[in-house]
Every structure is written in structure tokens, then in C-alpha cells.
Amino acid sequence: MDTQRRLSFLIADDHSIVRQGVVLIIEEMYTDAEIHHAATLEQTHDLILNNSFDVAILDIQFQDGNCIDILPEIRKKRPEMRIMMFSSCPEETHALRYYEADANGYLNKLSDEETIRKALLQIIEKGSYSSPTVQQLFIRKMRDPDYDQPLRKLSERELEVAKLYADGLGNLEIANHLDIKQSTVSTLKMRIFKKLKINNLVELIDLMKE
């Protein structure tokens, strides 16, 4: 990527404070950067289809959907665009599925500023970024072709519910937190247990710690 010209970025996140934090880092690195914002999945989708960005920094989950659902389309439309997933979800349980969906990098929102700068620089100059944690995941998968993380069998919603169970929330609390019915939570719990081949919350919590 030609870093001598003005670079264009899309920052897509439903929290304005997150977007502003990333803007500050980008503007320190590239003072003349062109920066666009999106707060919903629909806005993200439309902006990418109608504009050419050098780098898209995308959250995983929005109120109106998950980015993994639009990645194939936007990758086909914008094959040269660098895509950095920027999420609070752990790399261990989420990163590989987004690399497999053709993202160029995955970065945890809890990363310090220096790590974020390093990731952006590598995405821009080398075309991809992977943290030491992700590199270890790739190595493990390369050594063992049958290796897979059990939690990757879950949908994004199921992962979200599993994490809340692991945090100690009950069905009613999860239902209120996600604004869904308790019966829906119970159904999701059954699906989680079936996919992970476990029988109780203790086993689920153990898996979430791995």
C-alpha cells in the first residue's frame, strides 16, 4: 500500500467512545488521514459498497447483526481493502473464524495503544496482522490438522450467552441483558450444551477458561 498518499479509513463500532479513541491513534500516525464512521452493520455495509477505503476497522457485533455475515460480500466487492476486526471478544475463541472469513487481522479492544499502532502499521505496510496469541493458534492448527476450538462451533449469539453464563449470570439476568425471552435463553443453552457435548455449567465454565 502506498503510504505516501492520503489514506482512507472506516471505523465501524456502535460505541462512539471506541471510534474516537481509534481516531486519535490514526491521526497521530497519519495526520492527513481521511476517516469515516459507522455505528451499525447496515451503515458499515453501505459505506463499504459505495466507497473505496484502504483500511476498515470493524467491530464484530452490532445491534443489527454480526460482521461475519457481510464479510464475504464486502471482500468480493473490495478485495484490496485491509480488514481489521476490532473486538472485546477473546482471540482464543473468535480470531480464527474471522481470519478464515478473509479478515486481514484481529485485535482485542483491550490492547494498549502501542499494540494498536503496531497492528495498524502492519496491516497497512504488510497487508496483515496477527498477535502472538493468534500466531500460536495458527501453529497449533498447522501441527494438528484436526485441531479445532470447541467454542468455534457456536454461533455468535451462542458464544455471547456462553460467556454470560461463565460470568455467573442466570437465565433471567441473561434475558434482561440481551433483551430476549427467558425461553430463548434456555433454547440457546440447550444448543450450546449439545454442540459442545457437555452436561452442565461447570463444564462450560472450564471450556471458557481454556
For residue range 26-66, list pLDDT tens digits in order: 999 999 999 999 999 999 999 999 999 999 999 988 888 88
Q: Domain 150-209 is in which class?
A: mainly alpha
Average pLDDT on 71-83 reads 96
Domain 8-142 CATH assignment equals 2.60.120.330:
no
Q: 0.75 cut: is pTM over it?
A: no
CA distance 36 to 26: 12
Q: Are 124 and 54 in contact (CB under 8 A)?
A: yes
DSSP 155-205: -HHHHHHHHHHHTT--HHHHHHHHT--HHHHHHHHHHHHHHHT--SHHHHH
pLDDT of 209 above 70? no
Average pLDDT on 118-144 reads 90
Domain positions in the chain are 8-142, 150-209
CA distance 89 to 157: 12
